[in-house]
A and B are shown apart, each in its own frame.
Chain A
Amino acid sequence: MLTVTFKGLWAHKRRLVGMLMAVVLGVGFLAGALALGDTLSSNFDKLFASANAGTDAVVRSATTVGTGVGAQRPAVDVSLAATIRAVPGVAAAEPSITGFGEIIGSDGAAIGGNGPPRLASYWLPDPVLNPYKLAQGRAPATPDEIVVNRGAATAGKLRLGQTVTVLMPTPVRVRIVGIATFAGTDGLGTATLAAFNLAGAERNILGITGDAAQASSIVVRAQPGVSQAELTSRIQRVLPANVDALTGVAATQQAVSDVSGTFLTALRTVLVVFAGIALLVATLSIANTFAILVAQRSRESALLRALGGTRRQLLGSVVVEALCIGALASGLGLLAGLGIAGLLKGLFDSFGFALPAGGLVVSGTSIVVSVLAGMVVTLGAGLLPALRASRIPPLAAFRGAAAEPARPSLLHAIVGGVLASGGVALVVAGIQAPTSQVLSVVGIGALLTTVGVVALGPVVAKFVTGFIGRPLAAWRGTPGLLARGNAMRSPRRSAAAATALMVGVAIVTLFTVYAASLKTASDNGVKGSFNGDIAITSGGFGPGTLSPELATAIGGLPGVRTATGISAGEALIAGKAQQVSSVDPVHIGAVLDLHPAAGSIAALSDSQIAVSQHEASNRGWQLGTALPATMPDGARMQLSIGAIYTSRDLTGDYVVPLALWGAHNRQGVNSAVFVKLAPGTDLAAAKAAVTTASTPYGQPTVNDRAAFIAAAGQGVNLVLGIVYVLLALAILIAVLGIANTLSLAIHERTREVGLLRAVGQTRRQLRSMIRLESVILSVFSVVGGLTLGTFLGWGLSQATNVAQGFATFTLPVTRIALILVLGALAGILAAVRPARRAARMPVLTAVATE
């Protein structure tokens, strides 16, 4: 029996290519995602290991403020380094001082744009403790000398001895005296570095010199023969309360797990989710291929049964076939995954999330998971058709009956209808559910709706394909008429062919609608609260990079009535790390109306905080509620709620006065500066003046009100762009599925093709017929997907609105129309190969095929 299976596989190899492709792409995506995770994790490991290579102990505050990569900790006194140096066994101890510093290249623009981190630090004089090594020049000796990393020097066309501007974020003029490498490479990933001597770092990064100066940590090197553990315990004895010493190895591990625990896990999860979508679509697509193949072989199967093959053998045969295809495809997918990992990295780089480079690493777990996924998907897709094949009665061999019921049963229709309507009802009802349950109820409803709609596909396929085909038949004449007939002849198969693309399009639409809804909410929020005339933003991600001096400089321009900065950061508030905005309460009102529901922003005192209405009502807070808070420098305090506001799009949920924030942060940076002009001032002239004035501060983006409002929602579109790229593979798999179905159908209809050609169908008409059938199928999928996706997008945005307080359902009409058009085009593309092959079939073989 196995021989028969393998012979059969070999004989049908051409027909298996399409199926193979779907699994290869799906597994490839998964393997690529996992490999990228492995690679990044290994790169981060290496990075931290080299960064900490010479460090035997690290001394730092025991508390953290906030979450995420390199979670902020309160600082320690720089003077602690001297205390530690006195501990026996210590060879060197230096304060580690790092902060923000943006180097301006020779062309006047900031090096690295807004992507990679831009670091400024204290150049550790101990060459073992310092992970950077001088490649040229010398260490900085005065506060106005710096060392830059080689990558930054190359990118900014900077030379040794050149005087450059570094935005700290207040511009400082310094001379480059050294160029450094990191572990033999151009730098720490693509991060740029400007390293000062101690006085320079204290002045420019800490803003304080002398005894009050504080460092992020103290790094220590042991004398030979002193173990890290021994060193650490000796140091710990001289440390003040709330300051910890840990071994270099432990510090490295913690840094690594900080990254893997947050950033890497999130990245992996996102990628695996999208790989899962691709695999789901692949499963749907190959399940259909299997069904068709098994149906086409029903005579063969029946003959085997008649000759004494048992049902079990027949079932086994299809299972073995699925396993073979699964194994082969998974193997190929694994190889493809290595390429896809590179593409994914490129994708993130091109969207501005620079990831550290390094050779590709794939862990054993990733290989096993990918291969298993491929096998399970193929086997799962093959099982149902296999069961059907095994049920073929031996007599069918002589009747030549099709093993495939063309029409769905009544039960099928009822089950589909109940699932779909139940799901819809759940989504609609879920929106009214209590806040905490909204997302889960709506989620379950969405899942049920999707399953129901997929189940209903075959029930409505005949009607819908007929409906779509009618205008095509009228427009394209006979080929259209024939295409319509072909699309309608087996509703079950048409629906199965369409399902994969439908699910893919539904997901694309869901994201599109959801993104549009978020953007509308953001636009409306910004429009409703921003009253300024000009906004200056540093762009990119993370906290801002604008010097507080900028607001002052612009405030002095003629025609400017108010120029006030806003900055962002993280603090622990009521036990949770929260994003906090800080504003100048006196001036912010001129440019930003937060629509207070209670209290007043302008009257906010230095021991008060303003909270959004959404957050306040979720947490049960009122005006006057005292919230425990820990500031970035570790200071603990009670802040009472002085205002509750409703517009949270520009400031988030927490706003504190600038004076309070500035007292507890080292480098003051603004994320934006908002400008209000005096009445009657010419906007264009004022904007030009503001642009000129802000140029020395790293050429930030200067927008008028309209452009600022438009740009505020751009982040959503950026993420949507990445999502589109990640979904592209799933769509490709789905389109391949349609191509595959068409090829198989044409193979089945060889005699029809021959007959048509004999009685006068030209090759062009034949191709047109196949193309139109493909268009009908893909439009069927796309219309289904758009409808489903729009509904789910509506549900999700309503649910988000209830749970999170933003998202305003919006139907992005142009985009939806574009998806429809692209879907039809995809249909045309899918038909290219099958149509060409059909047209190449000699008329006679077709006529003569018995």
Chain B
Amino acid sequence: MQTTLTKAAARAINATKIYGSAETAVRALDEVSVGFPQGQFTAIMGPSGSGKSTLMHCLAGLDQVSSGEVFLGDVELGSLSDTELTLLRREQVGFIFQSFNLLPTLSAAENISLPLLLAGKRPDRDWLDTVIAEVRLGDRLAHKPSELSGGQQQRVAVARALVTRPQIIFADEPTGNLDSRSSAELLGFLRRAVTSFGQTIVMVTHDPGAAAAADSVLFLSDGRIVGELREPTAEAILDRLKAIGE
């Protein structure tokens, strides 16, 4: 049934999300249909309140659409129970939030393996080593989050997202709280995960420079997809954003 060549890691069909009811109702997503191809790095941009986070939460099984369908791989999320959704997130989805990504009581190493620990699975040693080497955390593994810098904390979050080899990773403004050097480093890690491991990544960002690291950029406005840019450059993105009126 898939018409595109590459299979979609996640897709939404006529997804609508309405918050509140009657007069106070907010249409955070308005009939959004979109697919995120496997092995691709997609950035989502748009003005504040345009529904970027909402789209991501619905795709990740953290929230449910009001109408329409959402698929993760071949699984339709609407029919799943809370436990099934949780297990799906644990095994198929990786998360990187803007802040507060780590549990303060766990060491960096434990935070990285957290999804595996929750699943009661032994980590694949080789893969774990690869991931840790990739984000260059080797000497910080025993530290608690409070002993790590912001950049290091986000790197731990990247490693955690990668460790289960999920179907897709969602990153909501992962560089939002970082300085430019740490940001560039983090984007490098994400880029390499896509290029070297074929990881699918969807990233919300406000920074055209960051979005330029992606394979394509989706533009959202008032809960609707208003455009797409392939092989983006920072300048092209800026132009497009001006056109939307941010």
Contacts and interface: CB of A to CB of B under 8 A. Distances in A.
A759 B110 CA distance: 13
A91 to B, nearest CB: 87
A12 interface: no
Contacts of A477: 117, 120
B100 A751 contact: yes
Interface string A747-761: 000011001111111
Interface string A324-361: 00000000000000000000000000000000000000
B100 A755 contact: yes
Contacts of B89: 758-760
Interface in A94-145: none
Contact of B62 (A761, A765, A843): A843
Give the size range of A's interface with the partner: 20 to 34
B83 interface: yes
B177 to A, nearest CB: 12
B106 to A, nearest CB: 6
B105 interface: yes
Nearest to B172: A847
Interface stretch (B5-13, B90-98, B228-236): B90-98
B86 A752 contact: no
A760 B84 CA distance: 10
A489 B105 contact: yes
Interface stretch (A193-201, A480-488, A689-697): A480-488
Given A489-B105, A752-B103, A761 B118 contact: yes
A75 B100 CA distance: 87
A482 B83 contact: no
A759 B106 contact: no
Nearest to A760: B90
A520 interface: no
Interface in A605-620: none
A759 B83 CA distance: 12
Contacts of B62: 758, 843-844, 847
Interface in A475-497: 477-478, 481-482, 485-486, 488-489
Contact of B118 (A485, A751, A759): A759
Contacts of A757: 86
A764 interface: yes
Contacts of A751: 100
Contacts of A847: 57, 62, 97
Interface string A687-716: 000000000000000000000000000000
Most chain-B Cβ atoms within 10 A of its Cβ — which of A752, A758, A764? A758
A777 B57 CA distance: 36
B114 interface: yes
Contacts of B139: none
A762 B86 contact: yes
B63 A485 contact: no
B106 A485 contact: yes
Most chain B CB atoms below 10 A, which of A758, A759, A843: A759
A760 B86 contact: yes
A763 interface: yes
Contact of B115 (A481, A486, A760, A763): A760
Contacts of A765: 118
Contacts of B83: 762-764
B57 A844 contact: yes
A760 B100 contact: no
Contacts of A486: 105
A760 B118 contact: yes
B191 interface: no
B32 to A, nearest CB: 18
Nearest to B86: A762
Interface SS of A by simple majority: helix
A757 B82 CA distance: 10
Given A844-B57, A847-B62, A847-B97, A759 B104 contact: no
A481 B110 CA distance: 10
A745 to B, nearest CB: 12
B87 A760 contact: yes
B81 to A, nearest CB: 10
B100 A761 contact: no
B119 interface: yes
Interface in B43-92: 53, 57, 60, 62-63, 82-83, 86-87, 89-91
B101 interface: yes
A278 to B, nearest CB: 34
Given A758-B95, A761-B86, A843-B62, A488 B119 contact: no
Contacts of B115: 759-760
Nearest to B53: A848
Contact of B103 (A755, A760, A763, A844): A755
Interface in B138-184: 160
Contact of B119 (A489, A755, A756, A760): A760
Given A758-B89, A765-B118, A847-B62, A482 B103 contact: yes
Contacts of A755: 97, 100-103
A478 B117 contact: yes
Contacts of B105: 482, 485-486, 488-489
Contacts of A758: 60, 62, 89, 95
A762 B90 CA distance: 9
A761 B91 CA distance: 11
A752 B106 CA distance: 11
Specify which of A478, A485, A751, A763 lies most central, judged by the most chain B CB atoms within 10 Å of its CB: A478
B86 A489 contact: no
A489 B118 contact: no
B61 to A, nearest CB: 9
Contacts of B82: 762-763
Contact of A759 (B53, B57, B120, B160): B160
A760 B82 CA distance: 11
A682 to B, nearest CB: 66
Nearest to B89: A760
A764 B63 CA distance: 19
B76 to A, nearest CB: 19
A525 B60 CA distance: 75
A485 B63 CA distance: 29
A766 to B, nearest CB: 9
Nearest to A765: B118
B103 A756 contact: yes
Residue from A482, A757, A762, A764 whose CB has the most chain B CB atoms within 10 Å:
A762
A113 to B, nearest CB: 57
Contacts of B57: 844, 847
Contacts of A488: 105
B100 to A, nearest CB: 5
A478 B120 contact: yes
B66 to A, nearest CB: 14
B210 to A, nearest CB: 21
B158 to A, nearest CB: 13
A850 to B, nearest CB: 8
A223 B118 CA distance: 93
Contacts of B102: 755
Given A478-B118, A485-B105, A844-B62, A760 B97 contact: no
A493 B89 CA distance: 33
A25 B195 CA distance: 65
Nearest to A843: B62
A762 B87 contact: yes
A661 B103 CA distance: 80
B47 to A, nearest CB: 18
Given A751-B100, A759-B95, 4 more contacts: A477-B117, A760-B89, A760-B114, A763-B82
Interface of B: 53, 57, 60, 62-63, 82-83, 86-87, 89-91, 95, 97, 100-106, 110, 114-115, 117-120, 160
8 smallest beta-carbon distances between A and B, as pairs = A760-B90, A485-B105, A478-B117, A762-B86, A760-B115, A760-B118, A759-B115, A478-B118
6 contacts: A478-B118, A755-B100, A760-B91, A760-B115, A844-B57, A844-B63
Interface of A: 477-478, 481-482, 485-486, 488-489, 751-752, 755-765, 843-844, 847-848
